[in-house]
Amino acid sequence: MEGEALQTLAPALAIGLGGLGPAIAIGLLAAKAMEAIGRNPEAAPKIQTAMILAIAFAEAIAIYALVVALIIKFV
C-alpha cells in the first residue's frame, strides 16, 4: 500500500513543485516589464520582446517538470 501511494504522489509533487518556480518567475517578469513600460513607453517593443523570450525560457522549465512527472508515472 505504501509503495502505491508514493507512486501516485511522486508525479504530483514533481509537476506541482516543478510548475511553482516558473509560475512565480513569469509573474515577476510580467510585473517588472509592466513597470518598465510604464516608466518608459517608448521602449515598449524592446521590453516586450525580452519579456516574451524570458517567459518562454521559464515555461521550458515547467515543460521539463511535466516530462519528469510523466516519466515517473509511467516508468
Enclosing domain of residue 60: 2-74
Query: Looking at the 3D structure of the chain, how many domains does it have?
Result: 1
- pLDDT tens across 3-43, in order? 788 888 999 999 999 999 999 999 999 999 999 999 999 99
pLDDT of residue 1: 58
- pLDDT tens across 49-60, in order? 999 999 999 999
Q: Could you give the CA distance from residue 48 to residue 37 in angstroms, rounded to a whole number?
A: 8
Confidence (pTM): 0.82
Through-space distance between the first and last CA atoms of the chain, rounded to whole angstroms: 18
**Phi, psi (degrees; rounded to nearest 5) at 40:** -140, 80
pLDDT of residue 71: 94
pLDDT of residue 6: 86
Count of Cβ atoms closer than 10 Å to residue 35 Cβ: 11
CATH of the domain at 23: 1.20.20.10
